[in-house]
Amino acid sequence: MDSHTGGALAWLAQGAASNLLDRLVDRALDGPPPMPSWPRLGGSPPGTVEISVRHQLTIRTRTPVILTLQEDGSRTGTVFSVVLGHTTRVNLPGGDYFGAAMIVDPLGRTRSGQTLQGIGWSRLKVTSRRTSPLVIPAHHPTAPVLLQLGLRKPDGTPLFRLPRSRL
């Protein structure tokens, strides 16, 4: 994992450490999520990105995905809540981007945090006036990956619980 990947996911974790994570999960579960929008489209014609998150989970309930997009080299980004298995369309200015996804167990919310079912990331080049597919492959998280990404609350406790291993 390169420093850009780690930095982008750490940025997402900082926002998720607040109650933002709970609000995003609730938004995904409350019904069809609003159409995501990029904060500024700039002067050039935008391109469209169709974002899908893939995971080997069997979907029986609406499974929330916290998705972030960042322009290459940016220290901030935009966070969306989507549902696993759905494709999301976003208009973006042309350029290079980084997308990251965290799949959260909708039934795994406790006082000690959310249960993280999957995590993944992918890079994307957006071309003006074109539609680009972005598939983010998500994998089961491990404790070393969460530690490496800095997915911790300000007090040092883990931001997420890991699912019990399946035998």
Distance, CA of 67 to CA of 81 (rounded, Å): 6
**With respect to CATH, is domain 3-161 assigned 3.40.630.10?**
no
Number of C-beta neighbours around residue 114 at 10 A:
21
The predicted structure's pLDDT at residue 166: 47
- Amino acid symbol at 2: D
Helix (H) or strand (E) holding 15, with range, is helix 3-15
Q: Where are the domains of the chain?
A: 3-161
Beta bridge partners of 80: 67
Distance, CA of 38 to CA of 150 (rounded, Å): 26
The answer to whether the pTM exceeds 0.95 is: no
The structure tokens 């994992």 sit at 1
The predicted structure's pLDDT at residue 160: 78
Distance, CA of 151 to CA of 117 (rounded, Å): 14
* pLDDT < 70 stretches in the chain: 1-25, 27-29, 31-44, 57-60, 108-113, 165-167
Distance, CA of 110 to CA of 73 (rounded, Å): 35
List Cβ neighbours of 28 (8 Å cut-off, separation of 6 or more).
62, 64, 65, 81, 82, 83
The predicted structure's pLDDT at residue 143: 82
